[in-house]
Structures are given as structure tokens and as C-alpha cells.
Amino acid sequence: MSGEPETMLELQSAADALGVHYQTAYRWVRSGRLPAQLVGGKYLVSSHDIAEVTASRNRPQAPAAPSAARLVRQSGRMHEALLAGDESEARRIARRLVDEGTTIIDLIEQVISPPLLAIGQAWHDGNLTIWAEHRASAIIERALGDLLPNPRGRRRGTVMVAAISGDLHSLPTTMATAALREANWHVHHFGADLPGEELVNFCATHEEVDVAVISVTNPDAADRAEEFADKIRAGGTPTLVGGAGKTLSGLVDDVQQAADSRRS
């Protein structure tokens, strides 16, 4: 089908071509499995993308990803490696799980985040030095940098991810970038401590940015993050402000919804 001209089909026709129910095709669009464009309130799917999804479904299935129990065990080993400052072991755990089929979001939320939270709490309680906490975060950031997905095929859109001046923690922005790239978004990742006006200017001069994401880990920077988020929104770019308690899977869903609203 690669030599045939590309045609655009409405989602019901795409579902029929794929041999699945409309709601199944809709879930695939929302998850990024089936690329689609929202035009005039309707999803349109390329005939070429239908062919690629069909071919993918006909390939032999890969082995199942590691079980939840295995991820819990590996999280314990990750905790031990981070406490010991054993970067090689931490990287090995992360790489092996990804190679076995663990998604980046599951790796972060089920294997990496629990030990980081425990280490942070131990420092807060006075049972661990600050350098041990910083070392663990730095190890994880480098490990995730090696694992950042390179999206394939048609991108779902473009996202900017950053934290503003006064928020010095770059790891949450790296985690958000990894999750969004895995979901097939192109991401401009600026890390931490970026002047808010620079984010406003970037979005104003880069019309391809569908959604801006501002990470917040420092409560003292929360009001400024909201202030500059409002300025970015005023320029026409939907903007999300992250914070404690928000999940990466929720972020991916929120970014998709924001992008869909802008395009409709």
C-alpha cells in the first residue's frame, strides 16, 4: 500500500478497514496506536497508517511485559542500587526492563519513583544526607536520558516541557519528556530553571507547539508558574502546570485533550 496514493478516512471507515469496533479504533487513537488528525470535530486517519497498523497486528506477538510482581522486586533492587550509588546497576535494571517490554511510564511510576520517594523521605526525616538524595536523582536522570524514546512515524504533535526560574529540579521534566515521546509526541525539552518570559517568547514564536507543560516541584515557584502559564495561554497555546500527585499517564491524556481542543 506504500506505493498507493494516501487517502484520509473518517474513523468509522478506518475501524471497518481494520476490522474492529468504532470504540476500539477510538481508544487506539487516544493511546497513539492509531495516528489521526482532528479536523472539523472528526478524526481522519491516513490509509497508509491503517496499512501500518494492520501489518503490526499481523506480526508475531512479542512476549508479555514483566509482571507487576517482577516490577516490585526490581524496584527494591533499584532502591538498593541508588542508595549504594551503583549507577551501572541502576542503568542495567532500567535497560533490561525496557528491553523486556516495560513501558517508560511503568518503569518510572512502578520501578523508579518508589525508591526516589523513599530516599527523599529518608532525607526529610534526617536519616540520609542530602548528597545521597541528589546522587540518586542524578543517576536516574542520566539513565532516563539513555532511554528517551525516539518517536517513529507520524507525530501526534509538538509539546514544550520546562520548569521556570526558581524551580531547580530537572528530573520531573525529563520524566515528562520520556512519557510524551513514548506516546509519539515531538518534545522541546528545556529542563529546569528557565526564565518564564523565555517560555512565553518561545511559544509565541513557534506556532507548531500544540501544548506547553510547566513542571512544578518547588512550592515557592508555583504562583510564578501559573502566572507565566496564563501568559502562554493568552498567546494561544494551551498550557498545563504539573505538580505533586499528578501521574505521567494522566499527563499524556491531558496533553492529548488540550491539543484536540485547540485543533477542533
What pLDDT is stored for residue 2 in this prediction?
47
Mean pLDDT by groups of 10 residues along the chain of 264 residues = 74 93 88 86 91 83 81 97 97 94 94 97 96 96 86 82 95 95 93 96 95 95 96 97 87 94 82
> Which distant-in-sequence residues (6+ apart) come within 8 Å of 233 by Cβ?
239
Residues 6+ apart with CB under 8 A from 134: none
Q: What is the pLDDT of residue 243?
A: 79
Distance CA 202, CA 204 (A): 5
What is the b/e burial string over 195-229, where b = at least 16 CB atoms within 10 angstroms of the residue's CB?
Answer: ebeebbebbeeeeebbbbbbbbbbeebbebbeebb
Homologous superfamily (CATH) for 158-263: Cobalamin-binding domain (3.40.50.280)
Strand bridging mode 186-189 / 211-214 = unpaired
Number of Cβ within 10 Å of residue 150's Cβ equals: 5
Can you give the pLDDT at residue 214? 97
Given the candidates 1.10.10.60, 1.10.1240.10, 1.20.1090.10, 3.60.9.10, the CATH classification of the domain at 68-147 is 1.10.1240.10
pLDDT at residue 140 in the model: 97
Task: State the pLDDT at residue 23.
Answer: 87
At residue 153, the pLDDT reads 64
CA 220, 224, 248, 155 dihedral sign is: negative
pLDDT at residue 1, rounded to an integer: 44
